[in-house]
Chains A and B, each alone.
Chain A
Amino acid sequence: MSKPLDQNIKENHSADLGDYIGPLQKVKSMCRRNPLAAVSACVILAVIILAVLAPVIAPYGEAQQDLLNRLKGPSAAHLFGTDELGRDVFSRILYGSRVSLIIGIFPPLISLVIGIILGLTAGYFGGWIDYLIMRIADVMLSFPSLLLSMALMYTLGRYANSIVCIFTALSLVGWASVARVVRSHTLSLKETEYVEAARSIGVRPAKIMLRHIMPNCIPSLIVLYTLNVPSCILSESTLSFLGIGVQPPAASWGLMVNQAKQFLFTMPWLALAPSLTIMIIVLAFNFLGDGLRDTLDPYLQKG
């Protein structure tokens, strides 16, 4: 009597397994549905490789001057020309990508971690903890973030070099939006039956937050992260352009635009080359973020 029933379950079940979409298929379907995102991912990958291999690829040193060849136009020897000190613009863009990528990738990661911890705590425990954390987040969000990072950099500037300053400032500014997103997810996720089930077998709150609630936030967090990366790259460029970011002779895209602004009408490539690079990398991250959101968000998924 019980055998045919079990058999039945087995057969039904193997049919279910057929619908499973593995991560590889997900990537494939993303490439097919959203080729722009796939191209963006390739661009980002290429930039990362170029940044890592900058000393090998760059034809000239980061601050190597050649005063006889100042302000030359693009040529075979100097792909994007040379600046007012005869430095090769292409090489400086390669070296500058290291700063931009470090600032683009790590501070958002740190603010992500801070935001996750604070958002989970606020959402899960509620009450006054929630109130306290979210009011601080509100204050952070109501402040212009650029102004806040500038203030932080002035304060920190005495103690550390400029890249460390930008790094710290941007890490401390970005967590509030992450905390908000995580908190709102946590509020709905903590009412789910699987969280209740986990509590019913005696799992500790910290573990429930990290093992049961956090993984369910990951799709939104990935998207949030890919959107935070370009904004951090832009912040770094802006700060450097304003002269309070990376200090010469080190190279950074924003700094290069700043130094090229006096030659904007006579030698536009000096400003155009780093500007276009900033634009390409920022667009690439934005498109990738959009593509990931479409792929990872179950509500936007068809079938």
Chain B
Amino acid sequence: MGSGNILEIRDLHTSFFTDSGVVHAVNGVDLDVPKGKITGLVGESGCGKSITAKSVMGLVRYPGRIESGSIRLDGQELTGLKEKELRKLCGQEVSMIFQEPMTSLNPVLKVGRQVAEALRVHRGATSKAEEKQEVIRIFEKVGIPEPEQRFTAYPHELSGGLRQRVMIAMAMIMNPKLLIADEPTTALDVTVEAQILRLMKNLCGENGMSVLIITHNMGVVAEICDEVYVMYAGRIVEKAPVFSLFDETAHPYTKGLLASIPRISGNPEYLSTIPGVVPNMKYLPTGCAFHNRCPLASEKCVREVPEMVETGEGHFCRCHLAKAQTARG
């Protein structure tokens, strides 16, 4: 806790009340993003990563809503804020980059105008020339070549990497304290991915901005994160500094994730996976949500939800077997 965190999420519950039942997408998440650091949030598809991010931005739509919990941005409580007040913060204090650069820009608007929109929303009326100046400045900063020409380009005229840079420009133009990046590089090829990650890391260092990066890619985590949260079925199951996560993996789920990364040196005939699928969030398993896929599950795992226990310095894990595992090494 303390004031060193830009974002503090406590016991967040976000659920979707659908006709066929209640989906507990986020089920008691605690998460901190320290100032000036890059924090990762990892997990399989459908485990609630994006909904956690959208809860922060107030983007959860009907039939979903934040049931309980607290989200504090730089000390200010966001849950229960009026929509108008939240809108004022969004884009200015905290902004978001989306997964698909192909679809997250409006195809009928020139990209320059779209980036300028944040300026207009938060700063009121400025002259068009001034706006353009500022947009071109931010385009240069995020490494868009020939920013003058790009200003009047339509999204379909840009490549995926450039579009993601435009998205970053859009998110960065108001100099937010926190940037939430929801799988920012998933849709990009590896060389562009490396560029975008480097760019985000540089921006983070230069502006003292904090980043919450959501990904399912362990490579991305290893590349840029300082601290990592692993999420499974709406809960945080492991939290660790990045090196500790890879070296002293505590949770069986995280181990499974790490083992599932295809390796050139491994057996080329066989790709390791975690057996089974993410549980249906409408019918969460009792006890530890991972018990039906866990190779080490015991009866206790079926019965009781494990608590977060500290297994190393700053390394927490939600597993009944956690202590024993680290003791073994």
A16 to B159, Cβ gap below 8 A? yes
For the complex, is A135 an interface residue (Cβ under 8 Å from B)? no
Known: A10-B145, A194-B105, A196-B104. A202 touches B96 (CB 8 A): no
Q: Which residues of B contact A193 (CB under 8 A)?
A: 98-100, 103-104
**CA–CA, A19 and B143, complex, Å:** 23
Contact partner of A127 among B62, B105, B191, CB < 8 A?
Answer: B62
Known: A6-B145, A192-B103, A200-B95. A215 touches B108 (CB 8 A): yes
Q: Which residues of A contact B153 (CB under 8 A)?
A: 17
B105 to A197, Cβ gap below 8 A? yes
**CA–CA, A5 and B103, complex, Å:** 24
Q: Which residues of B contact A20 (CB under 8 A)?
A: 154, 156-157
Chain A nearest CB: distance from B192 CB in Å? 8
A202 to B118, Cβ gap below 8 A? yes
**CA–CA, A203 and B84, complex, Å:** 10
A194 to B157, Cβ gap below 8 A? no
B159 to A13, Cβ gap below 8 A? yes
For the complex, is A55 an interface residue (Cβ under 8 Å from B)? no
Which stretch, B16-24, B85-93, B255-263, B321-329, touches the partner chain A? B85-93
A198 nearest CB neighbor, chain B only: B117
SS class of chain A's interface: helix, strand, loop or mixed?
Answer: helix
A198 to B59, Cβ gap below 8 A? no
Q: Which residues of A contact B89 (CB under 8 A)?
A: 202
**CA–CA, A193 and B167, complex, Å:** 11
For the complex, is A12 an interface residue (Cβ under 8 Å from B)? yes
For the complex, is B295 an interface residue (Cβ under 8 Å from A)? no
For the complex, is A126 an interface residue (Cβ under 8 Å from B)? yes
B57 to A200, Cβ gap below 8 A? yes
Q: Which residues of A contact B170 (CB under 8 A)?
A: 197, 201
B99 to A204, Cβ gap below 8 A? no
**CA–CA, A269 and B113, complex, Å:** 57
B103 to A201, Cβ gap below 8 A? no
**CA–CA, A194 and B59, complex, Å:** 13
A197 to B98, Cβ gap below 8 A? yes
For the complex, is B162 an interface residue (Cβ under 8 Å from A)? yes
A201 to B171, Cβ gap below 8 A? yes
Q: Which residues of B contact A198 (CB under 8 A)?
A: 106, 117
A204 nearest CB neighbor, chain B only: B87
Q: Which residues of B contact A19 (CB under 8 A)?
A: 157
For the complex, is A211 an interface residue (Cβ under 8 Å from B)? yes
Contact partner of A201 among B95, B105, B107, B154, CB < 8 A?
Answer: B95
A9 to B162, Cβ gap below 8 A? yes
**CA–CA, A149 and B35, complex, Å:** 65
User: A44-79 toward B: CB 8 Å interface, digit per residue (1/0)?
Assistant: 000000000000000000000000000000000000
A211 nearest CB neighbor, chain B only: B109
For the complex, is B121 an interface residue (Cβ under 8 Å from A)? yes
Known: A10-B145, A13-B162, A16-B158. A5 touches B90 (CB 8 A): no
A202 to B122, Cβ gap below 8 A? yes
Q: Which residues of B contact A10 (CB under 8 A)?
A: 145-146
B195 nearest CB neighbor, chain A only: A5
For the complex, is A247 an interface residue (Cβ under 8 Å from B)? no
**CA–CA, A268 and B195, complex, Å:** 77
**CA–CA, A196 and B86, complex, Å:** 14
For the complex, is B48 an interface residue (Cβ under 8 Å from A)? no
Chain A nearest CB: distance from B124 CB in Å? 13
Q: Which residues of A contact B59 (CB under 8 A)?
A: 196, 199-200
**CA–CA, A216 and B96, complex, Å:** 23
Q: In the complex, given contacts A201-B174, A204-B121, A212-B106, what are 9 additional A-B residue pairs having Cβ atoms less than 8 angstroms apart?
A: A9-B162, A13-B162, A127-B62, A193-B99, A194-B106, A200-B57, A200-B98, A201-B90, A211-B117
Q: Name 5 interchain pairs, CB-CB below 8 A, sorted by A.
A: A197-B170, A200-B57, A201-B170, A202-B121, A211-B117
Interface residues of B (CB under 8 A from A): 57, 59, 62, 86-92, 95-96, 98-100, 103-109, 117-118, 121-122, 143, 145-146, 153-154, 156-159, 161-162, 167, 170-171, 174, 191, 195
Sort A-B residue pairs by CB-CB distance and give the 7 closest, nearest first.
Answer: A201-B91, A193-B104, A202-B90, A202-B87, A202-B91, A215-B108, A194-B106
